[in-house]
């Protein structure tokens, strides 16, 4: 059966050998005066998958190295699918080690060895609000939108006149009347002498 593991969206070519290692992490607790030890289970250690193969030809070698070294240098977890990790929880891996070899005894052949290590995705960020009722945030957002809309409407009205002193326009209107009646006192002088003063 042809082995075709897929690393991210890239099918690893020309595989000659693949192996997986699963182990548990244990802490040994010695018991004084008793033969044997107690062991505390610290859960499973990350699964390791080793892949070995060889590529022939310069063009295939260059394509292979560009793809694999790009994933190695990125240092980010990528998805991994292979028959050998069936019945495990392995979904994401990082490339822990990459080894490339060429030999004069086998011209045109490039041997490779890739060691993958399980790297589960990080947990989701914590909910900082906990169990708080978030409907208040929605109401506050709606109120803020209303205030912003009202301010925009006021800005759209343009500049409003200064209404702190309403007599300023009236004073300038009375200046014309005062100027027109300035000579009235002199014109009424003879009438005052005829009719006399009312005092």
Residue with tokens 């169990």: 131
pLDDT, residue 114, reads: 93
pTM of the shown model: 0.55
Q: State how far the alpha carbon of 131 is from the alpha carbons of 124, 125, 197, in Å.
A: 16, 15, 94
Q: pLDDT tens, 113-134?
A: 999 998 877 777 777 766 666 6
Class of residue 92 by CB neighbours under 10 A (exposed 0-12, middle 13-18, buried 19+): middle
- How many other C-beta atoms lie within 10 A of the C-beta of residue 85? 20
The mean of the pLDDT values for the chain is 78
Low-confidence ranges of the chain (pLDDT < 50): 1, 199
The topology under which CATH files domain 6-26+39-118 is Phosphorylase Kinase; domain 1 (3.30.200)
Q: How far apart are CA 15 and CA 115, in angstroms?
A: 13
**Do 48 and 21 contact (CB within 8 A), yes or no?**
yes
pLDDT, residue 50, reads: 92
The strand ranges marked E within the chain are 6-7, 10-11, 15-21, 24-30, 37-44, 48-56, 78-81, 92-102, 109-118
| Short-list 94, 71, 85, CA closest to 10 | 71
């Amino acid at each position: 059966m042809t082995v075709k593991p897929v690393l991210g969206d890239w099918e690893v070519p020309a595989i000659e050998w693949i192996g997986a290692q699963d182990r548990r992490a244990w802490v040994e607790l010695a018991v004084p005066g008793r033969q044997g030890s107690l062991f505390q289970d610290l859960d499973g250690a990350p699964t390791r998958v080793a892949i070995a193969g060889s590529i022939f030809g310069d063009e295939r070698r260059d394509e292979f190295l560009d793809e694999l070294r790009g994933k190695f240098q990125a240092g980010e977890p990528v998805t991994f699918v292979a028959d050998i990790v069936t019945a495990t929880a392995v979904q994401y891996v990082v490339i822990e080690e990459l080894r490339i070899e060429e030999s004069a005894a086998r011209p045109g052949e490039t041997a490779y060895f890739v060691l993958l290590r399980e790297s589960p995705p990080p947990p989701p960020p914590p909910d900082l609000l906990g169990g708080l009722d978030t409907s208040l945030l929605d109401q506050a957002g709606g109120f803020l939108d209303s205030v912003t809309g009202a301010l925009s409407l006021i800005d759209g009205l343009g500049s409003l006149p200064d209404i702190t002193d309403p007599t300023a326009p009236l004073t300038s209107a009375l200046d014309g009347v005062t100027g027109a009646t300035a000579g009235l006192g002199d014109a009424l002088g003879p009438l005052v002498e005829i009719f006399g003063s009312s005092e």
